[in-house]
Structure 1
Protein backbone atom coordinates (compact mmCIF):
# COMPACT_ATOMS: atom_id res chain seq x y z
CA UNK A 1 0.00 0.00 0.00
CA UNK A 2 1.38 3.37 -0.95
CA UNK A 3 1.89 6.04 1.70
CA UNK A 4 -0.68 8.20 -0.07
CA UNK A 5 -3.38 5.51 0.13
CA UNK A 6 -2.48 4.79 3.72
CA UNK A 7 -2.80 8.47 4.55
CA UNK A 8 -6.25 8.68 2.96
CA UNK A 9 -7.37 5.57 4.87
CA UNK A 10 -6.19 7.04 8.16
CA UNK A 11 -8.23 10.19 7.55
CA UNK A 12 -11.47 8.37 6.70
CA UNK A 13 -12.79 8.27 10.30
CA UNK A 14 -12.18 12.00 10.67
CA UNK A 15 -13.94 12.71 7.37
CA UNK A 16 -16.87 10.67 8.67
CA UNK A 17 -16.75 12.72 11.89
CA UNK A 18 -17.02 15.90 9.82
CA UNK A 19 -20.07 14.35 8.18
CA UNK A 20 -21.63 13.84 11.61
CA UNK A 21 -21.15 17.54 12.41
CA UNK A 22 -22.85 18.51 9.15
CA UNK A 23 -25.79 16.17 9.86
CA UNK A 24 -26.17 17.63 13.36
CA UNK A 25 -26.28 21.13 11.87
CA UNK A 26 -28.79 20.25 9.16
CA UNK A 27 -31.12 18.44 11.58
CA UNK A 28 -30.84 21.32 14.07
CA UNK A 29 -31.89 23.76 11.32
CA UNK A 30 -34.90 21.55 10.53
CA UNK A 31 -35.88 21.36 14.21
CA UNK A 32 -35.58 25.10 14.84
CA UNK A 33 -38.83 26.17 13.18
CA UNK A 34 -41.17 23.70 14.94
CA UNK A 35 -39.37 24.36 18.22
CA UNK A 36 -39.99 28.11 17.85
CA UNK A 37 -43.65 27.35 17.08
CA UNK A 38 -43.87 25.21 20.24
CA UNK A 39 -42.18 27.93 22.34
CA UNK A 40 -39.26 25.71 23.42
CA UNK A 41 -36.88 28.61 24.07
CA UNK A 42 -34.56 28.13 27.06
CA UNK A 43 -34.30 31.87 27.87
CA UNK A 44 -36.99 34.52 28.01
CA UNK A 45 -34.82 37.30 26.53
CA UNK A 46 -32.66 35.99 23.65
CA UNK A 47 -30.77 39.30 23.36
CA UNK A 48 -29.41 39.29 26.92
CA UNK A 49 -25.67 38.54 27.09
CA UNK A 50 -26.17 37.51 30.72
CA UNK A 51 -27.69 34.29 29.37
CA UNK A 52 -24.22 33.34 28.12
CA UNK A 53 -22.75 33.91 31.57
CA UNK A 54 -25.47 31.79 33.17
CA UNK A 55 -24.77 29.04 30.63
CA UNK A 56 -21.05 29.08 31.47
CA UNK A 57 -21.76 29.00 35.21
CA UNK A 58 -24.09 26.03 34.71
CA UNK A 59 -21.39 24.17 32.75
CA UNK A 60 -18.77 24.87 35.45
CA UNK A 61 -21.07 23.67 38.22
CA UNK A 62 -22.08 20.56 36.29
CA UNK A 63 -18.44 19.73 35.47
CA UNK A 64 -17.43 20.18 39.11
CA UNK A 65 -20.23 17.90 40.28
CA UNK A 66 -19.27 15.24 37.72
CA UNK A 67 -15.63 15.31 38.80
CA UNK A 68 -16.62 15.07 42.48
CA UNK A 69 -18.93 12.14 41.76
CA UNK A 70 -16.14 10.36 39.86
CA UNK A 71 -13.65 10.85 42.69
CA UNK A 72 -16.14 9.47 45.21
CA UNK A 73 -16.91 6.44 43.03
CA UNK A 74 -20.52 7.56 42.51
CA UNK A 75 -20.65 6.81 38.78
CA UNK A 76 -24.29 5.76 39.06
CA UNK A 77 -25.24 9.37 39.80
CA UNK A 78 -23.45 10.53 36.65
CA UNK A 79 -25.12 7.81 34.60
CA UNK A 80 -28.58 8.56 35.99
CA UNK A 81 -28.23 12.32 35.51
CA UNK A 82 -27.04 12.06 31.92
CA UNK A 83 -29.63 9.42 30.98
CA UNK A 84 -32.40 11.65 32.34
CA UNK A 85 -31.03 14.63 30.37
CA UNK A 86 -30.76 12.48 27.24
CA UNK A 87 -34.32 11.21 27.62
CA UNK A 88 -35.71 14.72 28.17
CA UNK A 89 -33.87 16.14 25.14
CA UNK A 90 -35.09 13.32 22.91
CA UNK A 91 -38.65 13.98 24.11
CA UNK A 92 -38.40 17.61 23.00
CA UNK A 93 -36.96 16.59 19.63
CA UNK A 94 -39.70 14.09 18.84
CA UNK A 95 -42.42 16.37 20.20
CA UNK A 96 -41.23 19.15 17.89
CA UNK A 97 -41.12 16.82 14.88
CA UNK A 98 -44.54 15.26 15.59
CA UNK A 99 -46.06 18.72 16.09
CA UNK A 100 -45.73 19.10 12.31
CA UNK A 101 -48.37 16.38 11.91
CA UNK A 102 -52.09 16.55 12.73
CA UNK A 103 -51.51 14.54 15.90
CA UNK A 104 -53.24 15.77 19.04
CA UNK A 105 -51.19 17.20 21.91
CA UNK A 106 -52.04 14.26 24.16
CA UNK A 107 -51.08 11.69 21.52
CA UNK A 108 -47.91 13.63 20.68
CA UNK A 109 -46.88 13.61 24.34
CA UNK A 110 -47.51 9.90 24.68
CA UNK A 111 -45.66 8.95 21.49
CA UNK A 112 -42.72 11.28 22.20
CA UNK A 113 -42.30 9.98 25.76
CA UNK A 114 -42.53 6.38 24.55
CA UNK A 115 -39.89 6.83 21.83
CA UNK A 116 -37.57 8.69 24.21
CA UNK A 117 -37.86 5.98 26.87
CA UNK A 118 -37.33 3.14 24.36
CA UNK A 119 -34.19 4.77 22.96
CA UNK A 120 -32.89 5.54 26.47
CA UNK A 121 -33.48 1.92 27.45
CA UNK A 122 -31.65 0.73 24.32
CA UNK A 123 -28.76 3.02 25.18
CA UNK A 124 -28.59 1.67 28.73
CA UNK A 125 -28.74 -1.98 27.72
CA UNK A 126 -26.72 -1.90 24.49
CA UNK A 127 -24.38 1.12 24.30
CA UNK A 128 -22.58 0.08 21.11
CA UNK A 129 -20.88 2.81 19.10
CA UNK A 130 -23.62 3.09 16.46
CA UNK A 131 -26.28 3.39 19.16
CA UNK A 132 -24.19 6.05 20.90
CA UNK A 133 -23.75 7.95 17.62
CA UNK A 134 -27.41 7.76 16.63
CA UNK A 135 -28.67 9.03 19.96
CA UNK A 136 -25.83 11.57 20.03
CA UNK A 137 -27.07 12.95 16.70
CA UNK A 138 -30.59 13.30 18.05
CA UNK A 139 -29.68 15.05 21.30
CA UNK A 140 -26.90 17.06 19.64
CA UNK A 141 -29.28 18.48 17.06
CA UNK A 142 -31.99 18.99 19.65
CA UNK A 143 -29.79 20.83 22.14
CA UNK A 144 -28.28 22.97 19.36
CA UNK A 145 -31.73 23.93 18.09
CA UNK A 146 -33.07 24.77 21.57
CA UNK A 147 -30.16 27.06 22.45
CA UNK A 148 -29.92 28.42 18.91
CA UNK A 149 -33.49 29.71 19.04
CA UNK A 150 -32.95 30.95 22.61
CA UNK A 151 -29.87 33.13 22.03
CA UNK A 152 -29.46 35.86 19.43
CA UNK A 153 -26.16 36.48 17.62
CA UNK A 154 -24.24 38.56 20.19
CA UNK A 155 -24.95 36.31 23.20
CA UNK A 156 -23.99 33.26 21.12
CA UNK A 157 -20.69 34.79 20.02
CA UNK A 158 -19.93 35.73 23.64
CA UNK A 159 -20.78 32.19 24.73
CA UNK A 160 -18.62 30.56 22.05
CA UNK A 161 -15.65 32.81 22.80
CA UNK A 162 -15.82 32.08 26.54
CA UNK A 163 -16.24 28.36 25.95
CA UNK A 164 -13.25 28.27 23.59
CA UNK A 165 -11.10 29.87 26.31
CA UNK A 166 -12.46 27.52 28.96
CA UNK A 167 -11.90 24.44 26.77
CA UNK A 168 -8.30 25.45 26.08
CA UNK A 169 -7.62 25.92 29.81
CA UNK A 170 -9.40 22.66 30.72
CA UNK A 171 -7.43 20.60 28.17
CA UNK A 172 -3.99 22.22 28.07
CA UNK A 173 -3.64 23.74 31.55
CA UNK A 174 -5.68 21.99 34.25
CA UNK A 175 -6.28 18.90 32.07
CA UNK A 176 -9.47 18.14 34.03
CA UNK A 177 -11.44 17.84 30.80
CA UNK A 178 -9.26 14.92 29.71
CA UNK A 179 -9.77 13.24 33.10
CA UNK A 180 -13.52 13.83 32.84
CA UNK A 181 -13.71 12.42 29.31
CA UNK A 182 -11.76 9.29 30.24
CA UNK A 183 -13.89 8.72 33.34
CA UNK A 184 -17.22 9.16 31.58
CA UNK A 185 -16.21 6.99 28.60
CA UNK A 186 -16.34 3.94 30.88
CA UNK A 187 -20.05 4.64 31.42
CA UNK A 188 -20.76 4.34 27.66
CA UNK A 189 -22.96 7.43 27.51
CA UNK A 190 -23.84 9.57 24.45
CA UNK A 191 -21.74 12.57 25.40
CA UNK A 192 -19.32 11.84 22.57
CA UNK A 193 -19.22 10.55 19.02
CA UNK A 194 -17.28 7.38 18.26
CA UNK A 195 -15.76 6.70 14.85
CA UNK A 196 -14.10 3.26 14.60
CA UNK A 197 -10.99 2.69 12.54
CA UNK A 198 -12.34 -0.74 11.53
CA UNK A 199 -15.78 -2.40 11.46
CA UNK A 200 -14.82 -5.10 14.00
CA UNK A 201 -14.48 -2.44 16.69
CA UNK A 202 -16.79 -2.70 19.70
CA UNK A 203 -17.31 0.27 22.00
CA UNK A 204 -18.78 -2.06 24.63
CA UNK A 205 -15.66 -4.25 24.75
CA UNK A 206 -13.15 -1.39 24.53
CA UNK A 207 -11.32 -0.99 27.85
CA UNK A 208 -9.91 2.43 26.78
CA UNK A 209 -6.69 1.54 28.63
CA UNK A 210 -3.84 1.62 26.14
CA UNK A 211 -0.13 1.15 26.72
CA UNK A 212 2.13 4.05 25.86
CA UNK A 213 2.57 4.21 22.09
CA UNK A 214 -0.41 1.92 21.47
CA UNK A 215 -3.02 3.39 19.14
CA UNK A 216 -6.70 3.56 19.95
CA UNK A 217 -9.10 1.63 17.75
CA UNK A 218 -11.42 4.59 17.30
CA UNK A 219 -11.51 8.37 17.22
CA UNK A 220 -13.62 10.21 19.80
CA UNK A 221 -15.16 13.67 19.66
CA UNK A 222 -17.09 15.30 22.49
CA UNK A 223 -20.74 16.02 21.79
CA UNK A 224 -20.13 19.65 22.71
CA UNK A 225 -17.76 20.01 19.77
CA UNK A 226 -20.74 19.51 17.47
CA UNK A 227 -23.34 21.35 19.58
CA UNK A 228 -21.55 24.62 20.35
CA UNK A 229 -20.77 25.82 16.80
CA UNK A 230 -24.19 24.64 15.64
CA UNK A 231 -25.84 27.04 18.09
CA UNK A 232 -24.50 29.95 16.02
CA UNK A 233 -25.63 28.29 12.76
CA UNK A 234 -29.19 28.02 14.09
CA UNK A 235 -29.16 31.47 15.68
CA UNK A 236 -27.99 33.12 12.44
CA UNK A 237 -30.73 31.36 10.49
CA UNK A 238 -33.46 32.26 13.01
CA UNK A 239 -32.60 35.83 14.01
CA UNK A 240 -31.42 37.20 10.65
CA UNK A 241 -34.92 37.07 9.23
CA UNK A 242 -34.61 39.60 6.41
CA UNK A 243 -31.76 37.89 4.59
CA UNK A 244 -31.85 35.89 1.35
CA UNK A 245 -32.35 32.17 1.94
CA UNK A 246 -30.89 29.55 -0.34
CA UNK A 247 -33.75 27.29 -1.38
CA UNK A 248 -35.84 29.04 1.25
CA UNK A 249 -34.03 26.98 3.90
CA UNK A 250 -30.76 28.59 4.98
CA UNK A 251 -29.40 32.13 4.76
CA UNK A 252 -25.87 32.98 3.66
CA UNK A 253 -24.49 33.88 7.14
CA UNK A 254 -25.73 30.53 8.51
CA UNK A 255 -24.22 28.71 5.52
CA UNK A 256 -20.96 30.58 6.07
CA UNK A 257 -21.04 29.48 9.72
CA UNK A 258 -21.46 25.85 8.63
CA UNK A 259 -18.53 26.08 6.22
CA UNK A 260 -16.43 27.80 8.90
CA UNK A 261 -17.17 24.96 11.33
CA UNK A 262 -15.85 22.37 8.89
CA UNK A 263 -12.80 24.51 8.11
CA UNK A 264 -12.04 24.71 11.84
CA UNK A 265 -12.56 20.97 12.15
CA UNK A 266 -10.13 20.37 9.27
CA UNK A 267 -7.40 22.27 11.12
CA UNK A 268 -8.24 20.39 14.31
CA UNK A 269 -8.05 17.07 12.44
CA UNK A 270 -4.54 17.75 11.18
CA UNK A 271 -3.35 18.34 14.75
CA UNK A 272 -5.27 15.36 16.21
CA UNK A 273 -3.75 13.03 13.62
CA UNK A 274 -0.37 13.80 15.15
CA UNK A 275 -1.49 11.81 18.18
CA UNK A 276 -2.04 14.45 20.86
CA UNK A 277 -5.37 15.37 22.53
CA UNK A 278 -6.58 18.77 21.41
CA UNK A 279 -9.13 21.23 22.72
CA UNK A 280 -11.77 21.21 19.98
CA UNK A 281 -13.71 24.38 20.72
CA UNK A 282 -10.94 26.93 20.01
CA UNK A 283 -10.82 25.62 16.44
CA UNK A 284 -14.53 24.88 15.94
CA UNK A 285 -15.88 28.00 17.64
CA UNK A 286 -13.24 30.15 15.99
CA UNK A 287 -14.10 28.63 12.62
CA UNK A 288 -17.85 29.08 12.97
CA UNK A 289 -17.50 32.74 14.07
CA UNK A 290 -15.16 33.57 11.17
CA UNK A 291 -17.43 31.68 8.77
CA UNK A 292 -20.44 33.62 10.03
CA UNK A 293 -18.63 36.94 9.54
CA UNK A 294 -17.61 35.89 6.02
CA UNK A 295 -21.23 34.97 5.27
CA UNK A 296 -22.41 38.35 6.51
CA UNK A 297 -19.90 40.15 4.29
CA UNK A 298 -20.72 38.04 1.24
CA UNK A 299 -24.47 38.30 1.77
CA UNK A 300 -24.31 42.02 2.52
CA UNK A 301 -26.43 41.55 5.64
CA UNK A 302 -26.22 43.25 9.06
CA UNK A 303 -23.69 41.67 11.43
CA UNK A 304 -26.45 41.04 13.98
Structure 2
Protein backbone atom coordinates (compact mmCIF):
# COMPACT_ATOMS: atom_id res chain seq x y z
CA UNK A 1 0.00 0.00 0.00
CA UNK A 2 2.98 2.32 0.62
CA UNK A 3 5.77 3.12 -1.79
CA UNK A 4 9.14 4.52 -0.73
CA UNK A 5 7.96 7.91 -1.97
CA UNK A 6 4.73 7.90 0.06
CA UNK A 7 6.30 6.56 3.26
CA UNK A 8 9.08 9.14 2.94
CA UNK A 9 6.55 11.97 2.64
CA UNK A 10 4.64 10.57 5.63
CA UNK A 11 7.85 10.38 7.67
CA UNK A 12 8.70 14.02 6.90
CA UNK A 13 5.18 15.19 7.79
CA UNK A 14 5.22 13.23 11.06
CA UNK A 15 8.69 14.61 11.94
CA UNK A 16 7.48 18.19 11.36
CA UNK A 17 4.34 17.54 13.41
CA UNK A 18 6.39 16.01 16.24
CA UNK A 19 8.77 18.99 16.31
CA UNK A 20 5.85 21.45 16.49
CA UNK A 21 4.03 19.35 19.11
CA UNK A 22 7.09 19.20 21.38
CA UNK A 23 8.88 22.52 20.83
CA UNK A 24 6.08 24.92 19.88
CA UNK A 25 2.68 23.90 21.27
CA UNK A 26 4.16 21.54 23.90
CA UNK A 27 0.98 19.47 23.91
CA UNK A 28 2.96 16.26 23.31
CA UNK A 29 4.89 16.88 26.53
CA UNK A 30 1.66 17.36 28.48
CA UNK A 31 0.19 14.22 26.94
CA UNK A 32 3.27 12.11 27.73
CA UNK A 33 3.42 13.35 31.33
CA UNK A 34 -0.29 12.72 31.84
CA UNK A 35 -0.14 9.21 30.38
CA UNK A 36 2.98 8.23 32.30
CA UNK A 37 1.39 9.54 35.51
CA UNK A 38 -1.62 7.28 34.88
CA UNK A 39 0.71 4.40 33.93
CA UNK A 40 -1.17 3.83 30.66
CA UNK A 41 1.48 5.14 28.31
CA UNK A 42 1.35 3.84 24.71
CA UNK A 43 5.08 3.66 24.15
CA UNK A 44 8.31 3.04 26.00
CA UNK A 45 9.73 4.68 29.09
CA UNK A 46 13.48 4.19 29.23
CA UNK A 47 14.59 4.87 32.83
CA UNK A 48 17.96 6.44 33.58
CA UNK A 49 19.32 7.91 36.77
CA UNK A 50 17.08 8.60 39.73
CA UNK A 51 13.47 9.39 38.84
CA UNK A 52 14.22 10.22 35.20
CA UNK A 53 13.12 8.52 32.01
CA UNK A 54 13.33 9.02 28.27
CA UNK A 55 9.93 8.62 26.63
CA UNK A 56 9.32 7.11 23.20
CA UNK A 57 5.76 7.22 21.96
CA UNK A 58 4.13 4.52 19.90
CA UNK A 59 4.61 6.54 16.72
CA UNK A 60 8.32 6.91 17.44
CA UNK A 61 8.51 3.14 17.25
CA UNK A 62 5.89 2.44 14.59
CA UNK A 63 6.76 4.92 11.84
CA UNK A 64 10.45 3.95 11.51
CA UNK A 65 9.41 0.28 11.51
CA UNK A 66 6.87 0.99 8.77
CA UNK A 67 9.55 2.78 6.76
CA UNK A 68 11.92 -0.17 7.21
CA UNK A 69 9.19 -2.63 6.18
CA UNK A 70 8.50 -0.75 2.95
CA UNK A 71 12.24 -0.57 2.27
CA UNK A 72 12.55 -4.30 2.98
CA UNK A 73 9.90 -5.00 0.36
CA UNK A 74 11.77 -2.81 -2.12
CA UNK A 75 15.42 -3.58 -1.33
CA UNK A 76 15.30 -6.98 0.32
CA UNK A 77 17.83 -7.84 3.01
CA UNK A 78 19.89 -4.72 2.27
CA UNK A 79 17.20 -2.73 4.10
CA UNK A 80 18.11 -4.40 7.40
CA UNK A 81 20.71 -1.67 7.88
CA UNK A 82 17.88 0.87 8.42
CA UNK A 83 16.81 -0.27 11.93
CA UNK A 84 20.47 -0.36 12.96
CA UNK A 85 21.05 3.24 11.84
CA UNK A 86 17.77 4.34 13.46
CA UNK A 87 18.92 2.70 16.69
CA UNK A 88 22.24 4.54 16.49
CA UNK A 89 20.44 7.85 15.89
CA UNK A 90 18.27 7.22 18.97
CA UNK A 91 21.33 6.32 21.02
CA UNK A 92 23.07 9.54 19.95
CA UNK A 93 19.99 11.55 20.93
CA UNK A 94 19.90 9.88 24.35
CA UNK A 95 23.63 10.43 24.90
CA UNK A 96 23.99 13.99 23.61
CA UNK A 97 20.55 15.42 24.36
CA UNK A 98 20.26 17.78 27.32
CA UNK A 99 18.86 15.70 30.17
CA UNK A 100 16.53 18.48 31.31
CA UNK A 101 14.88 19.03 27.93
CA UNK A 102 12.23 17.30 25.88
CA UNK A 103 13.08 16.38 22.30
CA UNK A 104 10.83 15.23 19.48
CA UNK A 105 12.22 11.84 18.51
CA UNK A 106 10.80 11.65 14.98
CA UNK A 107 13.12 14.22 13.33
CA UNK A 108 16.12 12.25 14.62
CA UNK A 109 14.63 8.83 13.90
CA UNK A 110 13.48 10.03 10.47
CA UNK A 111 17.01 11.21 9.70
CA UNK A 112 18.22 7.76 10.77
CA UNK A 113 15.70 6.19 8.38
CA UNK A 114 16.89 8.26 5.44
CA UNK A 115 20.59 7.77 6.23
CA UNK A 116 20.00 4.03 6.63
CA UNK A 117 18.09 3.92 3.36
CA UNK A 118 20.92 5.74 1.61
CA UNK A 119 23.46 3.31 3.04
CA UNK A 120 21.34 0.34 2.01
CA UNK A 121 21.29 1.66 -1.57
CA UNK A 122 25.09 1.63 -1.52
CA UNK A 123 25.29 -2.04 -0.47
Structure-1-length-normalised TM-score: 0.37
Task: Report the Cα distance in structure 2 between the residues aligned to 1:180 and 1:170, rounded to whole angstroms.
Answer: 10
Shift in Å, 1:273? 5.1
CA displacement, residues 131-189 of structure 1 (integer Å, 9 cap, x when unaligned): xxxxxxxxxxxxxxxxxxxx221111000011111111111111111111112223322
1:196/1:217 contact within 8 Å kept? yes
Residue 45 of structure 2 corresponds to residue 164 of structure 1:
no
Aligned residue among 62, 87, 102 for 1:277: 102
1:265/1:283 contact within 8 Å kept? yes
Q: Which has the higher contact order (CA 8 A, sep 6+)?
A: 2
1:170/1:176 contact within 8 Å kept? yes
Aligned residue among 283, 288, 293 for 2:113: 288
1:260/1:289 contact within 8 Å kept? no
CA displacement, residues 79-111 of structure 1 (integer Å, 9 cap, x when unaligned): xxxxxxxxxxxxxxxxxxxxxxxxxxxxxxxxx
The 5 Å alignment of 1:175-186 reads: 175-186=26-37
Task: Report the Cα distance in structure 2 between the residues aligned to 1:172 and 1:236, rounded to whole angstroms.
Answer: 30
- Counterpart of 1:189 in 2: which secondary structure? coil
For residue 33 of structure 1, what is the aligned residue in structure 2?
none
Structure-2-length-normalised TM-score: 0.86
- Counterpart of 1:181 in 2: which secondary structure? helix
For residue 233 of structure 1, what is the aligned residue in structure 2?
68
2:19/2:104 contact within 8 Å kept? yes
Task: Report the Cα distance in structure 2 between the residues aligned to 1:264 and 1:197, rounded to whole angstroms.
Answer: 18
Task: Work out which of the two has the higher radius of gyration on C-alpha atoms and give 1 or 2.
Answer: 1
The 5 Å alignment of 1:7-22 reads: none
1:256/1:295 contact within 8 Å kept? yes
The 5 Å alignment of 1:204-215 reads: none
For residue 257 of structure 1, what is the aligned residue in structure 2?
82
Query: Aligned pairs, how many?
Result: 123
Shift in Å, 1:257? 1.3
2:68/2:80 contact within 8 Å kept? yes
Task: Report the Cα distance in structure 1 between the residues aligned to 2:15 and 2:121, rounded to whole angstroms.
Answer: 22
- Counterpart of 2:40 in 1: which secondary structure? coil
- Counterpart of 1:163 in 2: which secondary structure? helix
